[in-house]
């Protein structure tokens, strides 16, 4: 007996004024469906739109540098849309404004974008959009429901190749039979990988990891139980007092999102240099921040700017804080830990599923740095994605404690302070800190009692922010900027239950 289809969620998505209804459906398929319903275009209207495309190409003057330069792509897109609306008004007298915007959006999606794929690309609830080939449907990864099969298909392998080349041209990359692998990014910051047949034996592929339009904040994490107030206040304290923090986790566990979420805890008068392969971080506008990104070599193999190049260069830019997207190689790790030892506060991510695994990964190939260097690290957060339930949690929080006597025997222990208990879906304190409080006390002169009071204050502020739904990255940054300027202003807002507007 076939199971009945159930619509578990329904919402609208808009791609350049072209609307679509999204339904998440469970039932007949083993995998839930992501069903896209767009306005019906009648055959006569479709024929007219094909005619308008010709006029649009003829009447929109495009310079070659505009096609290739991603910095002017948005202006070119706006010009296309403006001309499309003018031609529609001329060809369809009496067309209303809503229909004109809708049809012009469709034209721009088809001529300037990725056609129907623009709909999921504009859905903020999605993290990944995947084209496996022209036979199978497009797949998407939903923040709430995980992997979903869609009712969208790309009509041919040639069209998939066209989409890949469209993306590649704008960033000076290409995908060909001789170079069948491509890493690139859209002008929105979305990361794109493409592979060609026969390297991908089922057909041409495109994988798009979407850049978060609204960055996750620490208040989001607390509200959805990804992180507890206790853990958030501990991390806030560590960042405030310039301790070094490493965020570990598996693929898709939210390492970069967590890294981004803790950046508002940095003081506004500290100079921050961030280094990434692809720009993913989005810091509050109140911070003194210089983002740097790597560059791939051109087809002739020239012009590469590597992560190591940027790390070495950043040390000459007088940073107070350094944020590095991910530790992958030995030389990068050596420079990173050298920066820690020379007085810079460093934050980075690492692929590891447990705190003790993070330690092993750092001291064994391919990273393989001396264990004695790890003494410069203070705190490790481990993020975890529960694939079946579609949730993310801070699985462990560990402090790094030096052990051993002589330098030749020196090592470190990763002591777990907090751990997530999946059966109860709650965070439990396993141990009290041995190192963090003594080190902060040494730097500030604060007693253990004063540190406990400081943590309690931070928890009150975080709870107030969650209750007031202060979850915009810039609003969270505003609260932190006020806290560092005069924390009594923020505590007064908390005590009197004021709104964020009272701090602006």
Q: Which sequence spans correspond to the domains of the chain?
A: 6-209, 218-503
| Intrachain domains 6-209 and 218-503 with the same fold | no
Tens-digit pLDDT profile for residues 363-376: 999 999 999 899 99
The reported pLDDT for the residue numbered 64 is: 55
CATH, range 6-209: 3.30.450.380
**Percent of the chain clearing pLDDT 90 (strictly above):** 60
pLDDT band at residue 477 using 50, 70 and 90 as cut-offs: very high
Q: Which of 52, 33, 35, 193 is nearest to 110 (CA)?
A: 52
pLDDT band at residue 503 using 50, 70 and 90 as cut-offs: confident
Environment class of residue 114 by beta-carbon count within 10 Å: exposed (0-12), middle (13-18) or buried (19+)? buried
pLDDT reading at 199 higher than 60:
yes
* Contact between 435 and 399 (Cβ < 8 Å): yes
Tens-digit pLDDT profile for residues 119-144: 999 998 998 999 999 999 999 999 88
CA dist., res. 323 & res. 397, Å (int) = 19
* Contact between 390 and 145 (Cβ < 8 Å): yes
The reported pLDDT for the residue numbered 220 is: 95
Query: Quick one: angle between helices 73-91 and 43-59, nearest 10?
Result: 130
Three-state DSSP state, 247: strand
Average pLDDT over residues 476-485: 96
- Residues 6 or more apart whose CB falls under 8 angstroms from that of 452 comprise none
The reported pLDDT for the residue numbered 443 is: 85
The reported pLDDT for the residue numbered 263 is: 97
Higher pLDDT, 57 or 150: 150
Query: Which two structure tokens, joined as six digits, stand for 274?
Result: 């961030």
CA dist., res. 262 & res. 216, Å (int) = 10
Tens-digit pLDDT profile for residues 46-99: 888 888 888 877 777 666 555 555 566 667 777 888 888 888 888 888 888 888
Sign of CA dihedral 114, 116, 120, 123: positive
Average pLDDT over residues 453-460: 96
pLDDT band at residue 108 using 50, 70 and 90 as cut-offs: confident
pLDDT reading at 1 higher than 50:
no
> CA of 164: how far to CAs of 116, 169, 306, in Å?
15, 9, 24
pTM value is 0.80
pLDDT band at residue 408 using 50, 70 and 90 as cut-offs: very low
Tens-digit pLDDT profile for residues 427-449: 999 999 989 999 999 888 999 89
Give the mean pLDDT of the chain.
Answer: 89
Q: What is the 3-state secondary structure (H, E, C) of 20-66?
A: EEEEEEECCCCCCEEEEECCCCCHHHHHHHHHHHHHHHHHCCCCHHH
Find the helix or strand (DSSP H, E) in which 207 lies: strand 205-209
The reported pLDDT for the residue numbered 173 is: 75
Of 134-138, 250-254, 276-280, which has the strongest mean pLDDT? 134-138
* Contact between 395 and 420 (Cβ < 8 Å): yes
Beta-carbon neighbour count of residue 379 at 10 Å? 24
Give the CATH fold of the 218-503 domain: Rossmann fold (3.40.50)
* Contact between 22 and 137 (Cβ < 8 Å): no
- Residues 6 or more apart whose CB falls under 8 angstroms from that of 266 comprise 239, 272, 287, 321, 480
Beta-carbon neighbour count of residue 104 at 10 Å? 25
Higher pLDDT, 260 or 296: 260
Strand partners, 393: 384
Query: Which two structure tokens, joined as six digits, stand for 465?
Result: 């922010």
The reported pLDDT for the residue numbered 389 is: 76
- Residues 6 or more apart whose CB falls under 8 angstroms from that of 101 comprise 17, 85
- Residues 6 or more apart whose CB falls under 8 angstroms from that of 471 comprise 217, 219, 220, 223, 465
CA dist., res. 202 & res. 487, Å (int) = 59
For 299-310, b where at least 16 C-beta lie within 10 A, e where not — what string?
A: eeeeeeebbbeb
pLDDT band at residue 22 using 50, 70 and 90 as cut-offs: very high
**Percent of the chain clearing pLDDT 70 (strictly above):** 94
Of 44-53, 232-241, 327-336, which has the strongest mean pLDDT? 232-241
pLDDT band at residue 37 using 50, 70 and 90 as cut-offs: very high
Phi-psi group of 83: left, alpha or beta (phi > 0 → left; psi -120 to 50 → alpha; rest → beta): alpha
Q: Which of 301, 280, 300 is nearest to 291 (CA)?
A: 280
Cis upstream peptide for 366 (omega within 30°): yes
pLDDT reading at 34 higher than 90:
yes
pLDDT band at residue 196 using 50, 70 and 90 as cut-offs: very high
The reported pLDDT for the residue numbered 186 is: 67
- Residues 6 or more apart whose CB falls under 8 angstroms from that of 184 comprise 167, 168, 170, 171, 173, 192, 194
């Amino acid at each position: 007996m076939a199971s009945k289809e159930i619509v578990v969620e329904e919402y609208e998505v808009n791609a350049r004024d072209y609307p679509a209804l999204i339904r998440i459906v469970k039932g007949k398929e083993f995998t839930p469906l992501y069903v896209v319903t767009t306005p019906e275009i009648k055959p006569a209207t479709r024929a007219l739109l094909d005619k308008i495309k010709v006029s649009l190409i003829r009447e929109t003057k495009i310079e070659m540098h505009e096609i290739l330069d991603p910095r002017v792509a948005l202006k070119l897109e706006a010009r296309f849309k403006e001309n499309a609306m003018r031609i529609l008004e001329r060809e369809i007298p009496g067309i209303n404004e809503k229909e004109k915007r809708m049809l012009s959006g469709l034209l721009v999606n088809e001529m300037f974008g990725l056609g129907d794929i623009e709909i999921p690309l504009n859905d903020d609830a999605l993290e990944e959009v995947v084209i496996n080939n022209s036979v199978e449907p497009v797949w998407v990864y939903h923040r709430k429901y995980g992997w979903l099969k869609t009712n969208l298909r790309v009509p041919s392998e040639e069209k998939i190749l066209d989409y890949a080349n469209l993306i590649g041209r704008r960033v000076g990359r290409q995908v060909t039979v001789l170079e069948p692998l491509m890493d690139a990014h859209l002008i929105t910051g979305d990361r794109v990988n493409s592979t060609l047949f026969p390297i991908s034996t089922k057909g041409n592929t495109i994988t798009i990891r979407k850049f978060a339009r609204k960055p996750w904040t620490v208040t989001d994490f607390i509200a959805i139980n990804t992180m507890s107030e206790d853990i958030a206040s501990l991390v806030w304290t560590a960042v405030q007092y310039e301790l070094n923090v490493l965020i570990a986790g598996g693929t898709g566990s939210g390492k970069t999102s967590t890294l981004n979420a803790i950046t508002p805890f940095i003081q506004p008068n500290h100079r921050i240099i961030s280094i990434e392969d692809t720009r993913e971080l989005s810091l509050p506008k109140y911070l003194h921040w210089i983002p740097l990104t790597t560059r791939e070599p051109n087809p002739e193999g020239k012009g590469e700017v590597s992560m190591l190049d940027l790390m070495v260069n950043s040390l000459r830019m007088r940073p107070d804080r350094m944020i590095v997207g991910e530790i992958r190689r030995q030389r990068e790790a050596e420079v990173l830990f050298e920066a820690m030892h020379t007085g810079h506060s460093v934050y980075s991510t690492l692929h590891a599923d447990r705190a003790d695994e993070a330690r092993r990964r750092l001291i064994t190939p391919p990273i393989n740095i001396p264990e004695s260097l790890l003494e410069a690290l203070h705190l490790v957060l481990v993020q975890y994605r529960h694939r079946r339930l579609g949730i993310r949690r801070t699985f462990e929080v560990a402090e790094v404690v030096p052990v051993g006597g002589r330098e030749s025997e020196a090592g470190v222990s990763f002591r777990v302070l907090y751990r997530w208990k999946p059966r109860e879906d709650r965070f439990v304190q396993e141990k009290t800190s041995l190192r963090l409080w003594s080190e902060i006390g040494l730097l500030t002169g604060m007693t253990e009692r004063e540190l406990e009071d400081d943590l309690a204050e931070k928890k009150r502020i975080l709870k107030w922010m969650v209750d007031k739904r202060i979850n915009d990255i810039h609003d969270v940054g505003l609260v932190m900027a006020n806290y560092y300027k005069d924390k009594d202003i923020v505590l007064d807002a908390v005590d009197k239950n004021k709104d964020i507007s009272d701090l602006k």
